[in-house]
Amino acid sequence: MQLIDTHCHLDFPVFDQDREALLDRCRALGVTEYIIPAIAENNWTRVIALADQHIDFFYGLGVHPWYAGEQREGVMDRLRALVMSQPAGLVAIGECGLDLRSHVPQEGQLALFEAQIRLASDADLPLMVHSVRANDTVAKVLRRFKPPRGGVIHAFSGSLQQAEAFWQLGFRLGVGGVISFERANKTRDVFKVMPLEALVLETDSPDMPLQSEQGARNTPESLPKIAAILMDLRDEPARLVADMLLCNARNLFHHGT
């Protein structure tokens, strides 16, 4: 089985001590590729440099909504210039989006999200979207802009209706550690019935550890466990689920390559 972690923050300092050893263990588990979203201007060059050193690393460039309030003037101009220079390994815009649970003023979050959607459209790249307590608003914004390459709603959590709205807009749903939680019935039901084509796997490492691993640093080693939970939920044979998830991630991020 070959798996792609479509959302993990392997550039974070928490991985500095043992990144290579961790990657070896992940490779042995079948995790063969990583998509690393940048979260703000101060980690763009770090993410690019890491991808330079690892053939299995690809990345998104963007500004996460949590940091919308603290970006320096002209951040979008610099992001646009960098994206348009087409650095090797760039496959998405993000992480961007809306987080209505955070204290960052919504207006600033929205302006930055919209600017990144426009950039994704201009650069013909998919979006890596963070949507927390904001699914309906995010869907409304996406409906207005209709970014041609769509993207992924990472760590999707929400109703079937919201999932279908995103899928119709050309967005896949990131299946993460959420599904390991007993209380996540609603989200599990969504992943059970949505078309398999609509799903991609992710860990969001070092965040979102599985229920059984609370308090620990999450790593892409949990990806096979997330895949196994999803396979249990689905009616299709496990092999087909694995093949399709791989194909979905490739179609999303390596379209035309």
Nearest to 187 by CA among 173, 197, 198: 173
Q: Which residue is nearest to Zn ion (CB)?
A: 95
Nearer to Zn ion, 34 or 242 (CB): 34
What's the closest the beta carbon of residue 235 comes to Zn ion, in angstroms? 30
What's the closest the beta carbon of residue 37 comes to Zn ion, in angstroms? 6
What's the closest the beta carbon of residue 138 comes to Zn ion, in angstroms? 15
Nearer to Zn ion, 10 or 165 (CB): 10
What's the closest the beta carbon of residue 238 comes to Zn ion, in angstroms? 27
Which residues of the chain form contacts with Zn ion (CB under 5 A)? 95
Distance CA 93, CA 178 (A): 23
Nearer to Zn ion, 209 or 241 (CB): 209
Nearer to Zn ion, 40 or 76 (CB): 40
